[in-house]
Amino acid sequence: MIYSALTVDAGKIGVMGFGERLTAAALLVLLAPVLVASALVVACLSRRSPLIAHRRVGWRGADLWMIKLRSMWGCHDAQSPRGFRWIERVDGPSAPPKHASDPRVPNAFARFLRRHSLDEIPQLWHVIRGEMSLVGPRPLTAAELRDFYGADAAEILQVKPGIAGLWQVSGRNRLGYAERRRLDLALVRRRSPRLYLEILLRTISEVWTGANSW
């Protein structure tokens, strides 16, 4: 991995610690019924593994197999390995940009999962493990970092990736990569407890309304 040699001053990691892991654990327990029920519905509708793990570049360039509820499937997708699995690993080129009427999101339930970010609930596990933060730049693929972030990628990887970030509460799917890069850099450079809490509060509103999400 081209980013594996990155070194980071531990004092600049961001707002993270035992309290954040404890919060993530409490949220995961609280949301477990929603997660389990959604996973069962996805498994029945898609006839495939309800959870997927996408390969991303994590903190300090480490591999991060980011877990999500499956919300995209279709007859033209590659089939899951033989036999049912709860989690399917996906390691390949980045998917084409999504749009509001994307045929890969096949029904109202899948759209509901995406609109209200329920497909992101499993990532609380990464926060508990210390691989992600509740707030930080969203983890990207190596290709996305190379093609759209370029020389700025190293700076983005100085902090742990997050479930919620600045561009997710500033337009979300309406934003192109240039704007996402600008907001990710602003988050890294301005990170503070105040900004962390502001993004968390704005995320609650975004998740509730499902604005700018598809």
CA distance 94 to 143: 7
How does residue 2 score in pLDDT terms, banded at 50, 70 and 90? very low
> Given a cut of 60, is residue 82 above it in pLDDT?
no
C-alpha of 49 from chain center: 18
| CA-based end-to-end distance of the chain | 31
Three-state DSSP at 139 gives coil
Query: Which pLDDT value is given to residue 97?
Result: 64
The β-bridge relationship of strands 63-69 and 51-57 is antiparallel
Closest CA to 179 of 187, 139, 91: 187
Mean pLDDT of 91-106: 72
The total number of residues shown for the chain amounts to 214
Residues 168-178 as b or e (16 or more Cβ within 10 Å = b) = bbbebbebeee
Mean pLDDT of 137-150: 95
